[in-house]
């Protein structure tokens, strides 16, 4: 009989899933990469077609799996409707440990990730919810890259609100520990970098290093929402994201620094200054 020791990585091509998969391979933990694309940059890995909305892809994905890294389906404001039945099926198939990628902006009683968070804490034998602040990689792999390069601007509706920006590498390290530590974490981890910064301060940091003036353009909530819709985002998801920026600006919802990276991984989190120095070529 085959041992049930595979870790299933959903969102395997994403910022955290790809990094977690690579680290698990370094530790010689067998991984199965799940996604709608069959391409992988991880040699020797097991890749399987997986679609949250196609139940016929679920059982094969779960075969001989004992741990799962869960990433919500993209642009779905109600992922619980497909994720909770999958979690229940996984538990029935013998999966013991689950790690969910959530958000520091959204608590367990909040929307989107919240119902999945609650389901895991109620149903799963062993569980962790990662609640990272905004990703530093949004400036190198995400929505801000092209505006920094092309127009020297960063757009948000956060005003002077502060954010504990965190590197996806640090999020992944916490996620790996949550997956492989002997003792289950059975908690939520709010994951931040070592400092909270305004988008204006981020613009100054990047500009100083690349020798170019970078400006933060503070939008209204409506301007941000309309811009995201024009870029192809569903209106309800754009409204949700604009609401997060509003909470950062008005309530300081992301103005926090935690010691989770150091406590869980035994090393200091990457600072934004370190991140910029490492990725300076991205913006030139």
Residue 281 maps to which CATH number?
Answer: 3.90.25.10
pLDDT at 155 over 80: yes
**Under 8 Å between Cβ of 67 and 82:** no
Give the total number of structural domains in the chain. Answer: 2
Domain boundary among 112, 132, 152: 132
Let me know if 128 is exposed, middle or buried by CB neighbors in 10 A (0-12, 13-18, 19+): buried
Q: Are residues 54 and 86 in the same domain?
A: yes
**101-150: pLDDT as tens digits:** 999 999 999 999 999 999 999 999 999 999 999 999 999 998 999 999 99
Q: What is the mean pLDDT of the chain?
A: 95
Q: Are residues 203 and 148 in the same domain?
A: yes
- pLDDT class of 1 with cuts at 50, 70, 90: very low
Least reliable range by pLDDT among 33-42, 118-127, 212-221: 33-42
Please state whether 65 falls in left (phi above 0), alpha (psi between -120 and 50) or beta.
beta
Distance CA 80, CA 87 (A): 10
Q: Are residues 114 and 248 in the same domain?
A: no
Distance CA 247, CA 241 (A): 10
Which among 56, 114, 47, 52 is positioned nearest to 87, based on CA atoms? 52
Q: What residues have CB less than 8 Å from 177, skipping those under 6 apart?
A: 185, 264, 265
- Supply the range of the domain harboring residue 153: 136-166+192-254+270-284
Maximum CA pair distance of the chain?
Answer: 62
Q: Are residues 109 and 141 in the same domain?
A: no
pTM here is 0.95
Pairing of strands 31-35, 46-49: parallel
**67-84: pLDDT as tens digits:** 999 999 999 999 999 999
Q: What residues have CB less than 8 Å from 85, skipping those under 6 apart?
A: none
Q: Are residues 86 and 119 in the same domain?
A: yes
Distance CA 274, CA 206 (A): 11
- pLDDT class of 284 with cuts at 50, 70, 90: confident
Q: Are residues 157 and 276 in the same domain?
A: yes
């Amino acid at each position: 009989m085959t041992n049930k020791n595979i870790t299933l990585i959903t969102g395997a091509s994403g910022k955290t899933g790809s990094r977690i998969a690579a680290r698990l391979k370094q530790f010689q933990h067998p991984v199965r990469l799940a996604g709608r694309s069959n391409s992988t940059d991880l040699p020797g890995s097991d890749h399987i077609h997986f679609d949250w909305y196609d139940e016929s892809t679920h059982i094969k994905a779960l075969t001989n799996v004992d741990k799962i890294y869960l990433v919500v389906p993209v642009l779905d404001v109600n992922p619980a409707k497909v994720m909770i039945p999958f979690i229940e099926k996984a538990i029935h198939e013998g999966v013991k440990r689950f790690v969910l990628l959530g958000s520091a902006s959204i608590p367990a009683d909040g929307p989107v990730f919240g119902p999945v968070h609650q389901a895991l804490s109620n149903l799963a034998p062993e569980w962790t919810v990662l609640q990272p602040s905004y990703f530093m990689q949004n400036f190198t792999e995400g929505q801000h890259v092209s505006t920094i390069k092309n127009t020297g601007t960063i757009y948000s509706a956060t005003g002077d609100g502060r954010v504990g920006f965190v590197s996806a590498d640090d999020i992944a390290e916490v996620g790996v520990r949550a997956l492989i530590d002997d003792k289950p974490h059975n908690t939520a981890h709010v994951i931040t970098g070592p400092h909270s910064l305004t988008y204006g301060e981020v613009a100054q940091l990047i500009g100083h290093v690349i020798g170019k003036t970078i400006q933060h353009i503070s939008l209204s909530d409506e301007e941000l929402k309309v811009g995201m819709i024009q870029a192809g985002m569903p209106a309800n998801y754009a409204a949700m994201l604009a609401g997060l920026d509003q909470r950062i600006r008005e309530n300081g919802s992301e103005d926090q620094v935690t010691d989770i990276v150091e406590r869980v991984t035994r090393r200091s989190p990457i600072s934004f200054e370190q991140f910029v120095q490492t990725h300076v070529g991205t913006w030139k």
